[in-house]
């Protein structure tokens, strides 16, 4: 996986979706594509009360990504320096192969531009020493950004699979 990751403290998330909105603003996206999303899971029984969990879901920047080899135009790329998976928009032909290849449909379809779009951890921002747009927008500091080794990958993958299965996402 990438050198970096976005972490979510679910206990702090109030599902305001500021992260979703700020991501779209930063990428200039219209209605439709959501490079990150807050998924509602539950309710689950917590201390005898029903409680919903709000889970931040975005690209995992896989160590061995399905999307990169699926792209016939080498638009989907893995950055050598830090493993961030990104789309070279100039090369994207809009074939949607990456969307179909990713088990979590992390790449999203931008109908306005006729191209795929995805989380790239805000490359231009992190290269300037800033945090990703979603992280800065979170009013409760539920999101943070840091070294990926702080998150066990198996936990992230298992959790994401549970979410996709429970929500019927494609
Ligand atoms: S788009 Fe999907 S397959 Fe590609 S790196 Fe992200 S999570 Fe992995
Ligand atoms: S939609 Fe674009 S990025 Fe995705 S596989 Fe096709 S050309 Fe590559």
- Its domain, for residue 66, covers 4-167
Q: Which atom of ligand 2 lies at the shortest distance from residue 95's CA?
A: 6
Question: Residue 60 CA: which ligand is closest?
Answer: 1
**Pocket (CB within 6 angstroms of ligand 1):** 59-62, 65-67, 85, 102, 104, 106-107, 118
Per-residue pLDDT in tens (0 to 9) along the chain, 170 residues: 788 999 998 889 999 999 999 999 999 999 999 999 999 988 888 889 888 889 999 999 999 999 999 999 999 999 999 999 999 999 999 999 999 999 988 999 999 999 999 999 999 999 999 999 999 999 999 999 988 877 655 566 666 766 666 655 54
Q: How many domains does the chain have?
A: 1
Whether the model pTM is above 0.75: yes
Q: What is the DSSP string of the chain?
A: --SEEEEE-GGG-----HHHHHHHHHHT--SS--SSEEEEEEEEEETTEEEEEEEEE-----SS-SHHHH-TTS-EEE-TTT--EEE-TTT-----HHHHHSTT--SEEETTTTEEE-----HHHHTTTPPPHHHHH-TT--EEEEEGGGS-HHHHHHHHHHHHHHHT--
Q: Residue 140: which CATH number? A: 3.30.70.20
């Amino acid at each position: 996986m990438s050198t970096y990751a976005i972490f979510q403290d679910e206990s702090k998330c109030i599902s305001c979706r500021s992260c979703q909105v700020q991501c779209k603003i930063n990428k200039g996206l219209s209605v439709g594509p959501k490079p990150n999303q807050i998924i509602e899971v539950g309710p689950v029984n917590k201390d005898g009360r029903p409680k919903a969990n709000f889970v931040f879901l975005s690209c995992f920047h896989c160590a061995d990504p399905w999307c990169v080899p699926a792209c016939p135009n080498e638009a989907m790329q893995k950055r050598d320096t830090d493993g961030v998976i990104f789309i070279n928009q100039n090369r994207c032909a809009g074939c949607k192969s990456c969307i179909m290849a990713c088990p979590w449909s992390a790449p999203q379809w931008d109908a306005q531009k006729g191209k795929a779009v995805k989380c790239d951890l805000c490359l231009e921002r992190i290269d300037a020493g800033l945090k990703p747009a979603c992280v800065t927008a979170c009013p409760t500091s539920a999101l943070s950004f840091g070294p990926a080794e702080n998150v066990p990958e198996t936990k992230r993958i298992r959790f994401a699979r549970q979410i996709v299965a429970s929500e019927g996402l494609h």
